[in-house]
Amino acid sequence: MKKFLMVIAVLALFFTFPFSGSAKRVKFITIGTGGVTGVYYPTGGAICRMVNKKSKEYHIKCTVESTAGSVYNINAVMSGDLDFGICQSDRQYQAYYGLKEWKGHPQKNLRAIFAIHPESVTLIATDKSGIWSLKDLKGKRVAIGNPGSGQLGNSRDALWLAGLDEKKDIKAFYIKAVEAAEALQNDRIDAYFYTVGHPNGSIKEATAGRIKVHIVPIPNVEPLLKKFPYYAKTYIPKKFYPNLTNKEDMIPTFGVKATFVTRADMPDDVVYAIVKEVFDNLETFKKLHPAYAVLTKKNMLEGLSAPIHPGAMKYYKEHGLDKYLKR
Ligand code: GLU
């Protein structure tokens, strides 16, 4: 009996302190991304890959979650359901200052870490729909983004630019981008908006079917740039999608940046570890997706509007990068 109790006691001790000595408890972190055919999902994977390589050193295990997109990610990070999130720079700005979906509820505990790839407002339409400019959306079946996505706001701004009313002038669909490519090829919609980095799986899928499609150029965006500080003029290279029927090599539109965020109470050492692994190994990171080709340490600190998380700031100061943080 005595022996039996001893064994129980030893086992109990083992299960209470499974890693004896100096071993630290592993911290599990989750990054909120987007649909699996977007660029956020592989981006979450790329960030996790960089830190998971050093799991033993940092005691961090990073995983990703596919989500509804930017707005969902910000809200889930703020509520504690997610630890980190990827979100559009315009959404970061709106959340921090209490605009649009956050009207009257500024998210003052939102913290910026770094910016990632540029994202373009991408309007893709079937050739037979006759949609060759924003104005042609009138009367058409258009997927403008699911609730929780970043693009829903950008599509609305594009409609505003064209003087179109979401309720009266178009037949709006609120399906996820991950479903939109198939809906386009099945002739259930005429066009869809997706704010996304290029190349991506969604536009590849949309151009791979029987129905001929093109990206609609959005050339005259000056009124938008004047009204909203977070938009920039961008171009989508046709070369990523050889099946597009577009004639031009660079299709004009407007866009934002993908950014990486967390909340103020995230431990500094966890944020520091992620920033260190991504920035120390930026050339390796950049190889993980073609949309990262343009990344530099400088432009990864541009387009952030929430305060920088102190764990990230520590790294930027140590490496003299904080001078790039234009506020
Ligand atoms: N920009 C999109 C959003 O915020 C997601 C794009 C992506 O998943 O790459 O919802």
Give the pLDDT of the chain (327 residues) as one tens digit per residue: 566 656 565 555 555 555 444 567 999 999 999 999 999 999 999 999 999 999 999 999 999 999 999 999 999 999 999 999 999 999 999 999 999 999 999 999 999 999 999 999 999 999 999 999 999 999 999 999 999 999 999 999 999 999 999 999 999 999 999 999 999 999 999 999 999 999 999 999 999 999 999 999 999 999 999 999 999 999 999 999 999 999 999 999 999 999 999 999 999 999 999 999 999 999 999 999 999 999 999 999 999 999 999 999 999 999 999 999 976
Topology of the domain covering 119-255? D-Maltodextrin-Binding Protein; domain 2 (3.40.190)
* Residue among 88, 178, 179, 292 whose CB has most ligand 1 atoms within 8 A, to mutate: 88
pTM: 0.93
- For 193-241, how does the pLDDT look when each residue is reduced to its tens digit (9 = 90+)? 999 999 999 999 999 999 999 999 999 999 999 999 999 999 999 999 9
**Backbone phi, psi, residue 168, to 5°:** -95, -35
CB-based pocket (< 6 A), ligand 1: 34-35, 38-40, 69-70, 88, 119, 149-151, 195-197
Q: What is the CATH number of domain 25-117+257-324?
A: 3.40.190.10
**What are the domain boundaries of the chain?**
25-117+257-324, 119-255
Look at residues 235, 279, 248, 218 and name the one whose alpha carbon lies nearest to residue 119.
235
Task: Provide the H-helix boundaries in the chain.
Answer: 2-16, 40-52, 55-58, 70-79, 89-97, 151-161, 177-185, 201-206, 222-227, 268-280, 282-286, 310-318
**Biggest CA-to-CA distance, the chain:** 85
Domains 25-117+257-324 and 119-255 agree in fold:
yes
Check residue 59 and report its DSSP letter: -
β-pairing, 60-65 vs 27-32, is parallel
* Residue among 66, 87, 119, 152 whose CB has most ligand 1 atoms within 8 A, to mutate: 119
- For 103-146, how does the pLDDT look when each residue is reduced to its tens digit (9 = 90+)? 999 999 999 999 999 999 999 999 999 999 999 999 999 999 99
